[in-house]
């Protein structure tokens, strides 16, 4: 073989190696474990990668609980000024809660993150106004959204994990800078790698339609090839892509496959779906309730640097609490150690009627086709 031929052969071998490596970039190297959740041969299984789990465990470890404080003694509202929530706690209980919330939200900044240390009653810091409302929101979740959080409940730490700003929040995405003159044309809100759509080509804002607005998520009809009448399915492929984008987000946020909530035999069927699907149904509505009743009204309270590119406030989605775990903090029931967060304070906003509405029952779900 000539030197030229050898060089060609060597180049092809290198090209093949590079191409093979590129093809494997999207694959997870073993070992991975599959846990069967349904009958054999139905692909009802969850696939777990221990390396990913190890990363998620580090993010979902609950902190040690503070020792309980006595309920005896004067009430916080009678000792301190301008106590608008948690005022019925004893001074000891109130101090314990303030110590906990500092560790949950601002361990490095300390009390000064929310308070004017020269006048603790002062409301001049926006963080104090927001924190007060977030306490009320936490109480609302624990009291009125049990169909999603059950008795496990949530605390400030569920979202914050020791950071002033939760790691997982969302804003309305910025408009493309050169959309009008771009050679790429109208991308119709997709085909740009974005974390919200798990770096897929799906629409990169699945949150505004479903976690702020109440647009219908369901895109498949109840009857095959139904083209006329009231039962006709007029949803488009574009609408289906928004639904898929939201489902991708939910799957990634919980660290699970589609079969965690859906049956492979019939994704649309409620009667054959795992029970987690009903829990997720309530979770979507809970996120929408929190965004509209608690986060949106705070838009004017936040400074400009805390708002999104379109001037909107930070909002919650599934990842805000779950952060890669099928149950936030893998089910650690932190809220039980803080009973003050389990009931709605008198000044809290009224619960969304959807919170206490009936979940789609197995019998009625197929007929009602909940969105």
All domains in the chain, ordered by first residue = 58-176+189-223+231-368 (1.10.468.10)
pLDDT at 113: 97
Mean pLDDT of 131-151: 97
Q: How much is the pLDDT for 234?
A: 73
Residue 23: pLDDT over 80: no
What pLDDT is stored for residue 72 in this prediction?
96
The pLDDT of residue 220 = 81
364 vs 204, more confident: 204
pLDDT higher than 80, residue 241: yes
Q: Residue 206 has what pLDDT?
A: 95
Q: Give the separation between CA 66 and CA 97, rounded to whole angstroms.
A: 9
What's the token pair of residue 86? Answer: 């948690």
Q: Which residue has the higher pLDDT, 43 or 275?
A: 275
Confidence of residue 218 (pLDDT cuts 50, 70, 90): confident
Whole-number pLDDT of residue 21: 55
Q: Examine the pLDDT at 203 and tell me if it is beyond 90.
A: yes
**pLDDT on residue 166:** 97
pLDDT above 80 for 182: no
28 vs 68, more confident: 68
Answer yes or no: is pLDDT of 355 > 50.
Answer: no
pLDDT at position 357, please?
45
CA dist 93 and 70 (Å) reads 7
CA angle in degrees (0–180, nearest 5) for 177-182-183: 160
Mean pLDDT of 331-341: 96
For residue 332, which of 169, 132, 161 has the smallest C-alpha distance?
Answer: 161
Helices (H), 109-236: 126-144, 146-149, 156-160, 207
pLDDT of 346 over the 60 cut: no
* Rounded Cα distance, 357 and 341, in Å: 22
Tell me, what's the pLDDT at 77? Answer: 96
Lowest mean pLDDT among 36-50, 271-285, 338-352: 338-352
pLDDT-based confidence at 347, cuts 50/70/90?
Answer: very low
- Cα gap 5→11, rounded to integer Å: 10
Q: What is the pLDDT of residue 183?
A: 66
Asked if omega into 333 is within 30° of 0 (cis), the reply is: no
Among residues 65, 63, 92, which one has the least CA distance to residue 80? 92
Residue 174, number of CB atoms within 10 A of its CB: 9
Q: In a 3-state reduction of DSSP, which class is residue 319?
A: helix
Q: If we measure between CA atoms, which residue out of 90, 86, 89 comes closest to residue 73? A: 90
- pLDDT reading at 187 higher than 80: no
CA distance 44 to 264: 7
Contact partners, residue 268, CB within 8 Å, separation at least 6: 218, 220
State the Cα–Cα distance between residues 6 and 168, nearest whole angstrom: 53
Tokens at 139, concatenated:
């109480």
At 366 the pLDDT is 39
- Give percent of the chain with pLDDT exceeding 70: 83
Does residue 352 or residue 182 have the better pLDDT?
A: 182
Q: Sorting pLDDT into bands at 50, 70 and 90, what band is 348?
A: very low
The mean of the pLDDT values for the chain is: 86
């Amino acid at each position: 073989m000539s030197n030229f031929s050898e060089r060609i052969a060597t180049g092809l071998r290198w090209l093949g190696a590079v191409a093979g490596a590129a093809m494997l970039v999207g694959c997870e190297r073993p070992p991975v474990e599959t846990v069967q959740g349904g009958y054999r041969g139905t692909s009802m299984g969850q696939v777990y990668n221990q390396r990913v789990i190890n990363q998620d465990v580090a993010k979902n470890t609950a902190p040690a609980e503070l020792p309980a404080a006595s309920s005896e003694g004067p009430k916080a509202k009678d000792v301190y000024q301008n106590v608008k929530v948690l005022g019925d706690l004893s001074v000891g209980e109130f101090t314990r809660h303030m110590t906990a919330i500092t560790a949950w939200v601002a361990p490095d900044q300390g009390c000064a993150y929310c308070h004017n240390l020269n006048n603790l009653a002062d409301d001049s810091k926006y963080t104090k106004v927001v924190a007060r409302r977030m306490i009320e929101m936490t109480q609302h979740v624990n009291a009125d959204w049990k169909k999603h959080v059950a008795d496990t409940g949530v605390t400030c730490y569920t979202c914050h994990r020791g950071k002033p700003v939760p790691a997982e929040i969302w804003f309305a995405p910025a408009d493309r800078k050169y959309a009008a003159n771009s050679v790429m044309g109208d991308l119709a809100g997709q085909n740009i790698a974005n974390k919200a759509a798990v770096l897929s080509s799906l629409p990169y804002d699945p949150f505004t339609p479903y976690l702020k607005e109440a647009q219908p998520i369901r895109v498949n009809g109840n009857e095959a090839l139904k083209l006329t009448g009231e039962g006709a399915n007029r949803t488009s492929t574009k609408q289906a892509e928004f639904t898929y984008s939201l489902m991708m987000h939910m799957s990634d946020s919980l660290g699970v496959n589609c079969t965690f909530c859906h049956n492979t035999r019939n994704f649309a069927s409620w009667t054959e779906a795992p029970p987690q699907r009903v829990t997720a149904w309530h979770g979507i509505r809970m996120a929408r309730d929190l965004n509209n009743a608690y986060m949106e009204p705070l838009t004017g309270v936040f400074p400009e640097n805390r708002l999104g590119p379109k001037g909107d406030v930070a909002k919650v989605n599934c990842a805000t609490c779950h952060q890669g775990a099928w149950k936030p903090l893998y089910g650690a029931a932190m809220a039980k150690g803080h009973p003050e967060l389990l009931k709605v304070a008198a000044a809290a906003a009224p619960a969304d009627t959807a919170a206490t509405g009936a979940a789609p029952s197995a019998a009625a779900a197929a007929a009602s086709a909940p969105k």
